[in-house]
Structure 1
Amino acid sequence: MGRIVCVHGIGQQATGEELLLRDWRPALLDGLTRADHSGAVSASDVVMAFYGHLFRPAGQRLAVGDPIFTANDVDAGLEEDLLLAWWRETARVDPKVAPPGADTLVRAPGSVQAALRQLSRSRFFGGLALRAMVFDLKQVSRYLQDPNLREVARATVAKLITEDTQVVVAHSLGSVVAYETLAAMPGHQVRALVTLGSPLGIANLIFRRLDPAPRDGLGAWPGSDELAWTNIADHGDVVALEKDLRPRFGTRMVNAVVHNGAHAHAVTAYLTDKLTGRAIADGLHAC
């Protein structure tokens, strides 16, 4: 099995392992080169844990593809709260986006429509169809609230983690899946966890729903004391609302902020950064 196990994020239901690796592998190798560790791994050392198919609707005649979601399909509770959190953060980092008003924050009628309208104007969500934004919201809520889907997604990651696995690299929602998987595997030999654009620190929406549940305000450490955990976020990454995860998981983890340009949440931009490459290389060379 691979020395490096990759775990993708949301919105990948129409792709697959090989399609994702076509982008992830060269970007990861470029990051290692930036960190002066070229030749540290070969393409065969990098594998992808793919769970996106769990969110793909079954094909039907005259109804192939993602559901045609609208603003009315955003459920109250987790989905609406996460949407408003995205809006607040997007307005903070993008001057084109008007911030939500006080009436919106108390769930005034039309607040969901207003949030989606504003997000569609942003450089972060711009070009993403409304139905895709809603579908992404639903992927997060389904993972956190559907025990069967959660179990299968975690099993997909777990089956690729063997005694040969040294590093797990996880992006976006995949960082939640990877974290929970490792935390449920006592005795695993993974030396480094690298999370990119992670929503793990969003207190009321993600963090408090983790399994295992946080205790006394602190999340479980996902491995032995020798596990090195590096969390990397872009200044403008709206998904990574909390850039610094140390208040949630302890001061032994390393946090870094990078600059991905216009593609703040893009996994390839994260992977090609020198800091990502260094974190991966350190895990590969750990004693």
Structure 2
Amino acid sequence: MSRVVLVHGIAQQHKGPQTLLADWYPAMADGVTLARAELPRQDVAMAFYGDLFRPTGHRGLGEPDLDASDIEEGLEQDLLLAWWEAAAQAESQVPGPDAAARIRTPHLVQRALDALSHSAFFAGLGERLLISDARQVRRYFSEPDLRAAIRSRLLDELTHRTEVIVAHSLGTVVAYEALCAHPELPDLTLITLGSPLAVRGLVLDRLVPAPHDGRARWPVPVKRWTNLADRGDVVALAKQLAPVFGARVTDVLVHNGAKAHDVRPYLTARETGQAISAALRRPMGGN
């Protein structure tokens, strides 16, 4: 029964809860140590849902053989284009879309994929993996049964001892929606890393519950919320959540280096460690 529950993002389908925890925990322990605190591993659990995206058996090795023609119009295409534009703004080596290329042509997705291959942010990701990542986001928002199953994985890890949820990337959406759906849960601290929650058009407008007049509902169990973002994080396109989710959100900018969206530099940041340790120092149910 863990005091801290972690929630991962996309592209974890070939891992497992213990594999991810072994990767995340040392980084988080370093951040907490910088905040002059300690967090035993037995107090931490991983809410894992990556296997729900794992393809069933298919011919060939590795990921399914996807190319630009497999990108669906709508959210998948819009995500790739948004990542392209953000990467071009942040990295001089990434060629950006010119005004004429903004027209949605059959070649635009391929141009986006080719441009992203020059990005340090997306270093090591081939074309198939980029498409797979965009597809996981689209599936979360478009497949109700999958969405519910993913949220259940988080809820299954929460106990009366849980005080902090630390969520990364798409995991911040999972955590937000699960907490909104269960106002009866005990008081919690929410820490979001590299969150796309406030990205209008792509994420914010697809949330459940839906925003009203551009403002999102506050998740009732959350008594403290710290959101951390790197200026160069092209997934967290909207760096601040407070303008949308309310002034009770504490927005903090951190510097993660070249891998701006990687969870590990987020976790090793002193600011993350301070947010975790501050929550754990408070009495259960404290304000």
TM-score above 0.5: yes
Q: Report whether the alignment pairs 1:66 with 2:63.
A: yes
- State the alpha-carbon separation in 2 of the partners of residues 95 and 74 from structure 1: 26
1:256 aligns with 2:239: no
- Aligned residue in 2 for 1:237: 233
1:167 touches 1:190 (CA, 8 Å); kept in 2? no
Aligned residue pair count: 283
Q: Give the conservation status (yes or no) of the 8 Å contact 1:154–1:181.
A: yes
Give the secondary structure class of the aligned counterpart of 2:154: helix
Residue aligned with 2:157, SS: coil
260, 266, 273: which is aligned to 1:270?
266
- Name the amino acid aligned to 1:55: F
Query: What amino acid sits opposite 1:17 in the alignment?
Result: P
Amino acid at match of 1:275: E
Summarize the alignment of residues 107-126 of structure 1 with structure 2, pairs less than 5 Å apart.
107-126=104-123
Indicate which of 192, 196, 199 corresponds to 1:195.
192
> What is the alpha-carbon distance in structure 2 between the residues aligned to residue 159 and residue 165 of structure 1?
11
Asked whether the 8 Å contact 1:79–1:137 carries over to 2, the reply is: yes
Q: Give runs of aligned pairs for residues 127-142 of structure 1, distance below 5 A.
A: 127-142=124-139
Aligned positions of 1:105-184 closer than 5 A: 105-184=102-181
Q: Identify the range of structure 1 (267-276 vs 181-190) with the bigger mean alpha-carbon deviation.
A: 181-190
- Is residue 200–residue 245 contact of structure 1 (8 Å, CA) maintained in 2? yes
The 1-side partners of 2:260 and 2:209 are apart by 29
Give the secondary structure class of the aligned counterpart of 1:227: strand
State the one-letter code of the partner of 1:5.
Answer: V
1:86 is the counterpart of 2:83: yes
CA separation of 1:93 and 1:87: change in aligned 2, threshold 3 A: same
Deviations 1:40-76 (A, max 9, x none): x21010000000011110124x335321110111110
Letter paired with 1:121 = H
Instruction: Give the structure 2 partner of residue 31 of structure 1.
Output: 31
Q: Secondary structure at the match of 1:194?
A: strand
Instruction: For 2:124 and 2:243, locate their aligned partners in 1 and report how far apart those are by CA, in whole Å.
Output: 34
Per the TM alignment, residue 187 of structure 1 is displaced from its structure 2 partner at its CA by 2.1
TM-score, normalization by structure 2 = 0.96
Query: How far 1:233 moved relative to its partner?
Result: 0.7
Aligned partners of 1:59, 1:53: CA distance in 2, in Å?
Answer: 13
Q: Once the 2 structures are TM-superposed, how far is the Cα of residue 201 of structure 1 from its aligned partner?
A: 1.1
Partner residue in 2 for 1:5? 5
Q: CA deviation at 1:123?
A: 0.5
Following TM superposition, by how much is the alpha carbon of 1:128 offset from its aligned partner in structure 2, in angstroms? 0.6
Tell me, yes or no, if the aligned pair for 1:120 and 1:128 is still in contact at 8 Å: yes
Secondary structure of the residue aligned to 1:159 is helix
Residue 220 of structure 2 aligns to a residue whose secondary structure is: coil
Q: What CA distance in whole angstroms lies between the structure 2 residues aligned with 1:134 and 1:47?
A: 29
Deviation by residue 1:248-287 (Cα, 9 ceiling, x = unmatched): 1011100011111111111111001000011111211222
Gaps of 5+ in 1: none
Normalising by structure 1, report the TM-score: 0.96
